[in-house]
Structure 1
Amino acid sequence: MKAKILKGFVLGIVANAIGTFLYIYFFSDHTFEYVIEKGVEQGFIGSLIGLGALLNLLLFFFFLTQKVGKFQKPLQVYEARGVIMATLLAAFAVLYFEF
């Protein structure tokens, strides 16, 4: 059980990082490193983390879906709990960087 929650937590953190990278890649003209550096300097890094957390929503509902197309899969509620914990960590990071 703890391993499943940890798996969901790690996947949630990775999904958040990928979401942040994709947002910067598609909606910025600058490099990833430059945007992160300026985000820390100018105080909008919390917004980038929050936008990256939107990808956790897809991961959460993937774990709670039994039927994917024609395929049946078991519910993965413990992994979904881990994703929720990663999303809460992202929310606390946003609060820390914004206030």
Structure 2
Amino acid sequence: MKKEILIGFLVGLAANCAGSYLYIYFLSDYTLETTIEMAQEQDLLGSIIALGAILNLAAFFIFLKKRQYYRARGVVLATIVAALVILAAKFF
């Protein structure tokens, strides 16, 4: 059970990172590093992370469709961690 949740958590983190990267790649005119630096300066890093978390929806529903409920819980946990990182980025 713990292994399945960990796999889902790692898939959720990977989906979030991939979503953030794809957002930057397709919608930014700058490189990855430059975009992240500019986002930190303008307090927009949380927004990029939040948009990257959209891919977690796909992973979550794929796991539900395959009846892998513990992995789906791991994806939800990864989404909660992303939300806490966004909260920390907004206030600190």
TM-score (norm 2): 0.95
Larger of the two Rg values belongs to structure: 1
| Shift in Å, 1:98 | 1.7
Letter in 1 for 2:83: A
| Shift in Å, 1:94 | 1.0
TM-score (norm 1): 0.89
Between the aligned residues of both structures, percent identity stands at 53
How many residue pairs get matched? 91
Structure 1, gaps ≥5 residues long? 67-74
Question: Is 1:97 matched up with 2:89?
Answer: yes
Instruction: State the match for 2:62 in structure 1.
Output: 62
| Shift in Å, 1:97 | 1.0
Between the aligned partners of 1:54 and 1:38, the Cα distance in structure 2 is 22
Which one has a larger percent helix, Structure 1 or Structure 2? Answer: 2
Structure 2, gaps ≥5 residues long? none
Instruction: State the match for 2:19 in structure 1.
Output: 19
Superposed counterparts of 1:1-99, under 5 Å: 1-66=1-66, 75-99=67-91
| Shift in Å, 1:26 | 0.6
> Which runs of structure 1 show a deviation greater than 4 angstroms over 4 or more consecutive aligned residues?
none
Which one has a larger percent strand, Structure 1 or Structure 2? Answer: 1
| Shift in Å, 1:37 | 1.0
